[in-house]
Structure 1
C-alpha cells in the first residue's frame, strides 16, 4: 500500500478535520474497550458517517479495540466487532491476543492490526503476531531507526506502523502497571492515571559500574548503607523523573518511509480537533517534501498541546534528552526568555519568531519561572510589539513571582477553535445478492433473494403481476427499486435471473419488498453478531486448572528475584531457579530489544552442564518468546513446557488457547495482575523503560558539572531557532550525558510522600518497583 499518514480521532469532528488536513487514515475508539476511555469516542451512527466521508476521500478507518478483555467482555467485543465491520471499518487494532483468537473463531473478515500495547519490538515478535493472524504491527515506540530497519528487513511483507508525533509514555507500552497497581485505574483498560507525570523525590542513588547486591536485596535500608567501594549519594532532588518529552519527527518520516515503514501514526485522541487537523496537515506536507508548510502546521498544532520536542528513541536511547523533570505539563510555542519586567509588561529576548506566531490580544501564554513550581498562565492584554530580537508583551495579569529569566510560551489563540464540521449521509454496507424471478401462475410472480453480509440469507415473497409487451423493462425496474436504500445495508451488486420475461410489477410493491427485506436483513445481521458472541462465550476454553502463585516462580536471589524475571544471566545458577512440577522455572524479561544477544544468553545458560539435563519450564513474557521457543526446540534444547507470564495479562481463556495453538506445551498462565482478584504475592515493575533516569534526571557526584534537571531539555530559543532551520533539534552542548564509565547498571530509591520506590537499571533498561 502507499505511505499513510494516520491521524487520531477522539470524536467525529476530530476525524473529519484530520481527513481535511490530508490524513490517509484515521483511528478511533468506540465507547467501550478503547485504550483512551476518556476521549469523546464514537457511537455506531458516527462511525457510519465517518466511514462515508473516508470512502469518498479514498481514506481508511481503523477502530481501536485495544484493551485487555475478560471473558464476558470478549463476547461483547465480538458483537461490537461485527457491527463495526458493517459500519465500514477497515481494520481493528487489538492488544488482547485472546480476543484475536475469538474473532477468528467468529469468522470476522476484518483485518487485524497488533497494537503498540502488544509490545512488539523485535523481528521474532513480528513473526509471532503474523502467525497469530495479524497483517500489520504497530511497533513499540522505544525502537531506534536501525532497530526498525532490522525488523522491516526481516519480514518486508508485513505492514509496519510507527509513531512519529505526540506524547510518549515512560514505560514500554503494554508493560505499564503503575496506574493499575497504585490507583486501581489500569492503562490496559484505557484508564491511565499518568503516574509518570507526577513528582518524585530522589532519596539515594548508587551508581555503577561497581554495584554489588548486598545488602540491598533483602529490602531497602532506612538510611544510607552502601556496600564497601561504592559511591552513594543522598539528596532531596525532586522532579517529574518519568515525564517524557513529546515525539516530533517532522521531515524525518521520510527516513522511515525509506526503510519500508508503511504508516506514520500521530498520537493524540485526547486532544482537540485543531490538533488532529494541523498534525495531519504537517505530516502530509513532510511526506510530500513540503517542509516549510509542515513546520508552519506543527507550530499551530503545538499550541497548548505540546511538550518539548524530541526524536524519541529514533537516534538511540542515549541521543537526546527524553524526559523533562522540571515541567510535566504541556508548553506550546516558545516565545523567549524574560530580560526585563515592570508590572504586567514583559520584555523578552527572542530569536526567529515568525510574524504569524506573534501573540495578539486574547492569546494565552504560560510563564515558567526559574525555580521549581513557578508557573503562571494568563492572556495577552494588548498586541505585542516586536523589535527583533526583542519582544514586548503586555499581559492581563502581573506574574506572582519575579519573572526575570523565566521562559514564556504561547499556549492558545483567541480565535484558534475550528468550526464544527458536519458529515454527509452515512455509509451503507454493500450486499452482494442474487435475485431470482419465477412465475408460479399467470398473475403471480415470486422473488427469491440470496444475500450475504457474512452468512448467506435467503428471503422470498410473491407479488401480483401482469403481462408486459416488452421484456426490457423488467430488469431495469427491479434494479431501480432494489438498488436504492435508506437502511444500513444496500444492494450494491445485484445479479438478476428471470424465467419470465414479459412482466410488469407495480414499482410501489417492489420498493416495499426492498424495505421489508432490508429491515429483515438488518435484524438477521444483529442476530448473527449476537449468535457469534454467544458461540465465543459457549466455546471459550477453560483455563488450566494448575496454577502457582507468581511469587513462587521468581528466581530465588538478587535483582532477578526482585524483578521476578531474569536480567542478570551472568549471576544465574540452576540453584537460584524456583522448582515447579514441570521443572525449573525460567521467567524471561518482557522487554529485550537486543533480541539475538538475549537469546544467546538464554542458549548459553541452557547449555550449561548443570542445566542441560534438567527439565525447564520457560516463562514467556512477550510474543517474541513464542518464536524463541520454536527456535530453541529446533536447535535441540529440551524446553518442552512453558507458562504464559504476567506480560500477556491473561484475562480470558482464549489467550491460552491462542498461545498453545501457536506453540504447544503451555502448562499454565499467570492471571492479569491489575484486577481485584489478582495474585498479589508478586508485584511486577510498575515501569519498564528505556529512558534512563540516571542520565536524564539524576546527577551523580562524579558528574557534578552536568545538571540534567536543568539541562534535560533545551531552552525555547534553541528549539525555536533550530526548528525553523527545518530539522529536528540536536542535543545541546549541556544536555544530559551518561556518567563516565557507566555500565548501564545502577540502583536508586525514590519517594512520593510515604510511598517508596526502587529503581533498578540493567543494560540501560530502567525498572521501577513499588515498595510494599
Structure 2
C-alpha cells in the first residue's frame, strides 16, 4: 500500500497530519534542516510525537538535510545520538558525510536520500543503494513515464515522489541564487526564494532575433516562479507503478495546511470524493500537475509542448480559489458577482497592476455583508489604502472564516526508551543489569509473612520511571538469595529509592554519552592533485560543465575534441553536466568521446569531473582519472571519505563551493577551494524560459536561446540549451 507523507513544520502540524489520515510525517529539528524558517521541533517534542506515532502506527521521518562543516559535525552527532534513543523511521539526508556517519555509527536509523541530492536517473538510485540508502526521494522534475522507468529498473529500493505543493525553479540542491544574491545558503536551510521575486527581461542584442525572442508577454514578472503541483488526478498511476511513498510539500506552512492536505490525499488514495477547496483556500499558488503530467512530454524527446505553462503566471502569491468577478468600483467599494458563498471574516484578494506592469495582491477581510449566497451580487468595502481593481478581474478567496482548525492538545508523555533489565537478588544486595548500565544497592532481604509475586512487584516499580529518558522493557529476575522467591519481601520505599537512583544514573550516563565525541577512525592523507582555479573551467558563457551529447555533435561537425574541453595549460578537464534525462544516451555519447580521445591521443591528459552521484558507477568500471567537482558538495571530511572509499581513480576534488576556506586537517586528501572569481549558475532548470516564462510556443524553436534579466541592483544571463534553462549571475572579478 502506498504511504502518504505529510509535512510537519511543528508538533501541531504533525498531530493534525496524523489525525486526518497521514501515514507519516517528515519534519526537522531546530538545527540542520533545509527549512530553517519553519517552527521545527525540539527533541522533547519529537519524543512526544514518537509516543503518538507508536500508538497510532504512524511513521516519523526526520530531515537532517542541510550540508554541514567539520566544525558542526559533533553537534550533528550529538543530535543523532538523541534521535537514536527516541527512534524514527528514517533520516532524510543530503550531506554524504552525515550519511556515512549514520551508516557506520547508527545502523538502526534507516537512510533516506533527500531530493536535495538531485537524483533523477537509474544510475543515481543504484549508487545510493550501494551506499546503504533504503529510500530515495526523487527529483521533482521527473515525468510519470520517467518515474516508471526508474521504478522498473530499481524494484528493490523504496521510491518517494512529490505530489503536492511548491515546485522550485532550479533542481533542488543545485540552486545557488540565494547564496550569491542574498548571502543565504539554501543548502543550509536559508533559501531566500529568489525564484519568487520579479525580474525585467530584455533581449540579447548580440544574437539574431530568433534566438532571443520576447513575444507579446509582460516585460516585468516573476519569470522564475513555478506553479504548485497538484497531482490528485494522477495518484492512481503512481499507485499502479508501485511507488512506495507520496510526499506533500510544505513544512513552512500552517497546521491547517497539514490538516487539509492530509485529508484530501487520504480520500484520494482511498478512492473517495475529494473536496480540494479547503486545502486550496488555505494555500495554493496557480496549480498544475507539474512535471508529472503537465510537462506536455513523456520525457526529454523534444516534441512540441501544447500544455499550459508550468510557471505561476503573473504572480507568485497564494491565489486560493475563484470567488467571483469584480463588476464595479464606487466610493472605495467593489460590486462582486459571487461564484461561491461568502461571509464576514473570509479573506479575499485581487491582483492590481502597478506602474511597472507587475501584478500585486491586494488582500483584505470581508466585512459588512453577513452571509451571501453564490449567484448574488454584493458590495464589499475595501481598505483605505487598497489599490483600485480592474473591472472584470477575479476576486479570490484566500482564507475561510470557517477553516480554522482546532488546537490539538500537546500534553503528551514523551517517549521513553524501553530497556531490558535483569534483577539479581542476593541476601544483602540487589543488582540491576542492563545494556544501558549496571547498578547495585545494599539491601537486606526479609522473609514475607505471606507469599509475594516478586516479579510482578519489581515490574510495577520499574515501569514507573517518571521523567527518565528510559523505562522498563522486559524484566528477568534471578534469585540468588537463601529464600524462595515467593518468600522475599522488599519494602516499597526501598524499591522506589533504588528505582529513582537507577534511572537518574541512566539519564546522567546518557547525557555524558551524547556530549562525548564519536571516534570516526583514523584517516590516511592521500597526496592527490591540487586542481586548477575553478573559474578557468568554464565555456564562453561561463557555464562550468560540458554535456557529452552536445560535444559529440560538435565533434561530428569537425571540431577537435581537445579544443572543446577546458584546460589549464597542462591537462584537459571534462566536468560532466549534473543533469541528464536521457541517461543511456549520455553514457553512450560519453563512451564515444572517450574512444575518440583515445584515438586522438589525448585521453591520458583528460580529467573527468563528477557532478552527480549517477556518474560514479560508470567511472568505477573504467578507472579513468576523475575529480569530485562542485556539485558533489564535499562539505566535510566524512563526505570526502565516503567518496574516497569508492573504486574511483580519484586525483582530487573541489571543496563545497559555498566555503572558500576551512580546516581540512581531518580530510583524506587536501581539497581545492574554488577561487573567488568563480560563480556557479544561479539556477539550472528543466523549465524552458522561452516556453514557461515568456509564453512562446515550441513551433520553429531552435531549442536554444539567450536573454538578460535584471532587478534594480542585479543582472543575470538566461541561457536555454536543449530546453534546459541556466541562469548565470554577473561576472565576478
Same fold (TM over 0.5): yes
d(CA) in 1 for partners of 2:14 and 2:231?
Answer: 22
Aligned residue among 677, 688, 700 for 2:684: 688
Aligned residue among 650, 653, 658 for 2:637: 653
**Cα distance per residue 1:173-196 (max 9 Å; x no partner):** 000000011111010011011110
Q: Is 2:280 the counterpart of 1:302?
A: yes
d(CA) in 2 for partners of 1:231 and 1:251?
Answer: 36
Between 336-345 and 119-128, the greater mean CA deviation after superposition? 336-345
* Cα separation, partners in 2 of 1:141 and 1:670, compared to 1, 3 Å: same
User: Any conservation in 2 of the 1:553–1:585 contact (CA below 8 Å)?
Assistant: no
Match of 1:477 in 2: 457
Q: Is 2:405 the counterpart of 1:418?
A: yes
Q: Is 2:76 the counterpart of 1:77?
A: yes
Match of 1:711 in 2: none
Aligned residue among 581, 588, 592 for 1:600: 588
* Cα separation, partners in 2 of 1:649 and 1:308, compared to 1, 3 Å: same
Match of 1:465 in 2: 445
Q: Is 2:366 the counterpart of 1:380?
A: yes
Match of 2:480 in 1: 499
Match of 2:547 in 1: 566
Match of 1:324 in 2: 312
Matches of residues 142-291 of structure 1 in structure 2 within 5 Å?
142-205=141-204, 224-226=205-207, 237-291=219-273
User: Any conservation in 2 of the 1:385–1:392 contact (CA below 8 Å)?
Assistant: no
Q: TM-score, normalised by structure 1?
A: 0.84
Matches of residues 605-754 of structure 1 in structure 2 within 5 Å?
605-608=593-596, 609-610=599-600, 613-630=603-620, 633=621, 637=622, 639-675=623-659, 677=661, 679-698=675-694, 708=695, 738-754=697-713
How well do the aligned residues superpose, as a CA RMSD in angstroms? 2.6
User: Any conservation in 1 of the 2:416–2:470 contact (CA below 8 Å)?
Assistant: yes
d(CA) in 1 for partners of 2:688 and 2:144?
Answer: 19
Deviation at 1:321, TM superposition (A): 1.6
Match of 1:394 in 2: 380
* SS of structure 2 residue aligned to 1:146: helix
d(CA) in 2 for partners of 1:173 and 1:530?
Answer: 33
Deviation at 1:137, TM superposition (A): 0.8
User: Any conservation in 2 of the 1:52–1:424 contact (CA below 8 Å)?
Assistant: no
Between 582-591 and 395-404, the greater mean CA deviation after superposition? 395-404
**Cα distance per residue 1:372-410 (max 9 Å; x no partner):** 335422221233776765543423437532430222111
d(CA) in 2 for partners of 1:204 and 1:335?
Answer: 38
* SS of structure 2 residue aligned to 1:276: helix
Q: Is 2:531 the counterpart of 1:548?
A: yes
Between 688-697 and 668-677, the greater mean CA deviation after superposition? 668-677
Deviation at 1:123, TM superposition (A): 1.0
Deviation at 1:66, TM superposition (A): 0.6
Match of 1:36 in 2: 35
**Cα distance per residue 1:461-519 (max 9 Å; x no partner):** 33221134777622222222222222111112223333343422222222222222222
Aligned residue among 404, 409, 415 for 2:391: 404
d(CA) in 2 for partners of 1:544 and 1:111?
Answer: 34
* SS of structure 1 residue aligned to 2:243: coil
d(CA) in 2 for partners of 1:364 and 1:376?
Answer: 11
Deviation at 1:451, TM superposition (A): 2.5
* Cα separation, partners in 2 of 1:450 and 1:388, compared to 1, 3 Å: closer
* SS of structure 2 residue aligned to 1:130: helix
d(CA) in 1 for partners of 2:657 and 2:312?
Answer: 30
User: Any conservation in 2 of the 1:347–1:390 contact (CA below 8 Å)?
Assistant: no
d(CA) in 1 for partners of 2:68 and 2:210?
Answer: 49
User: Any conservation in 1 of the 2:594–2:603 contact (CA below 8 Å)?
Assistant: no
User: Any conservation in 2 of the 1:251–1:289 contact (CA below 8 Å)?
Assistant: no
Between 251-260 and 137-146, the greater mean CA deviation after superposition? 251-260
d(CA) in 2 for partners of 1:232 and 1:300?
Answer: 40
* Cα separation, partners in 2 of 1:552 and 1:111, compared to 1, 3 Å: same
d(CA) in 1 for partners of 2:526 and 2:59?
Answer: 37
Q: Is 2:90 the counterpart of 1:91?
A: yes
* SS of structure 2 residue aligned to 1:49: helix
d(CA) in 1 for partners of 2:337 and 2:605?
Answer: 69
Deviation at 1:613, TM superposition (A): 4.5
d(CA) in 2 for partners of 1:305 and 1:611?
Answer: 59
d(CA) in 2 for partners of 1:69 and 1:130?
Answer: 22
d(CA) in 1 for partners of 2:402 and 2:313?
Answer: 32
Deviation at 1:687, TM superposition (A): 0.3
Structure 1: unaligned runs, 5 residues or longer = 206-223, 699-707, 709-736
* SS of structure 2 residue aligned to 1:766: strand
Q: Which has the higher contact order (CA 8 A, sep 6+)?
A: 1
d(CA) in 2 for partners of 1:582 and 1:522?
Answer: 60
d(CA) in 2 for partners of 1:527 and 1:36?
Answer: 29
Deviation at 1:342, TM superposition (A): 3.3
User: Any conservation in 1 of the 2:343–2:371 contact (CA below 8 Å)?
Assistant: no
Q: Is 2:719 the counterpart of 1:763?
A: no
User: Any conservation in 1 of the 2:334–2:380 contact (CA below 8 Å)?
Assistant: yes
User: Any conservation in 2 of the 1:240–1:328 contact (CA below 8 Å)?
Assistant: yes
**Cα distance per residue 1:322-344 (max 9 Å; x no partner):** 11341111111211332333345
Between 84-93 and 66-75, the greater mean CA deviation after superposition? 84-93
Q: Is 2:293 the counterpart of 1:315?
A: yes
Match of 2:666 in 1: none
User: Any conservation in 2 of the 1:344–1:396 contact (CA below 8 Å)?
Assistant: yes
Deviation at 1:550, TM superposition (A): 4.3
Deviation at 1:252, TM superposition (A): 2.1
* Cα separation, partners in 2 of 1:511 and 1:578, compared to 1, 3 Å: same
* SS of structure 2 residue aligned to 1:98: helix
* SS of structure 1 residue aligned to 2:348: strand
d(CA) in 1 for partners of 2:33 and 2:527?
Answer: 28
* SS of structure 2 residue aligned to 1:679: coil
* Cα separation, partners in 2 of 1:72 and 1:258, compared to 1, 3 Å: same
Match of 2:664 in 1: none
Deviation at 1:348, TM superposition (A): 4.1
* Cα separation, partners in 2 of 1:465 and 1:183, compared to 1, 3 Å: same
d(CA) in 2 for partners of 1:254 and 1:670?
Answer: 43
